[in-house]
Structure 1
Amino acid sequence: MENSPAPTEADVYEVLRECYDPEIPVNLVDLGLIYGVTIENRNINVIMTLTAPGCQMSTMITQDIQDKLLGIPGVEDAAVEIVWDPPWTPHLMSEAARKQLDLND
């Protein structure tokens, strides 16, 4: 792994765009669920939220993210931290996601 280049934030966001909430056909980045990414010594930490605190899919979503991030060459560890502040609202979604879900005003 030491021969692999260190992962970049762009690498992480590219992978996060492959992760979906199983109930909504839009990736987590465009849904506005990803609040931040840090990379330190080949370890990735993703800070995110979910659309609702009682989300039954939270374990599946976080495991999917971790599995995909660990597939990036050079990544040694990946963690997902779920936060509730600030709370998610549809206003955090990208314009493309709002169009896809037909939520434009």
Structure 2
Amino acid sequence: MADEAALLEALKDVIDPELMINIVDLGLIYAIEDDEGKVSVDMTLTSPACPAGPQLMQQAKMALEKLEDVSEAEIKLVMAPPWSPERMTDDARDHLGIF
């Protein structure tokens, strides 16, 4: 069973193609659970109409399933609560020039 830090680290390989920031630092990951190798992730998008949404979700699934301790990953798209820039890490805000 992978720990949450390892799962989040794997998800950092998924980069938003428009913002060029990983989905973890963007604050798109709301919840992550590992039940004996079956990982479930609640993830949002910066906008409900985000054209990269399906791509980001597929890449997140693939990034997790590359881990030795993960047999299956399910990415659930959630829109509540709505995403806001306050969810971003300081590094992500700095990268985008948001202070």
* TM norm. shorter chain > 0.5: yes
Q: Distance in 2 between matches of 1:57 and 1:101?
A: 18
- Partner SS, residue 75 of structure 1: coil
SS at match of 1:27: coil
Q: Which amino acid letter does the alignment assign opposite residue 87 of structure 1?
A: P
Cα distance in 2 between the residues matched to 1:81 and 1:44:
11
Question: Cα RMSD between the aligned structures?
Answer: 0.8
Show the counterpart of 1:46. 41
How far apart in 1 are the matches of 2:77 and 2:2?
A: 22
Structure 1 unaligned runs (5+)? 1-5
Count of residues paired in the alignment: 99
Q: Give the deviation of 1:61 after TM superposition.
A: 0.6
Structure 2: any 5+ residue segments left out of the alignment? Answer: none
Residue 96, structure 1, aligned to residue 83, structure 2: no
Matching residue within 56, 60, 68 for 1:65: 60
Q: Which residue in 1 is equivalent to 2:72?
A: 77
Q: Distance in 1 between matches of 2:28 and 2:82?
A: 10
Query: 2: distance between equivalents of 1:24 and 1:86?
Result: 21
1:56 maps to a residue whose letter is P
Residue in 2 that maps onto 1:23:
18
Counterpart in the other structure of 1:12: 7
Distance 1:56 1:63 in 2: 13
Instruction: Give runs of ≥4 in structure 1 deviating > 3 Å.
Output: none
Q: Considering only CA atoms, is the larger Rg found in Structure 1 or Structure 2? A: 1
TM-score normalised according to structure 1 size: 0.90
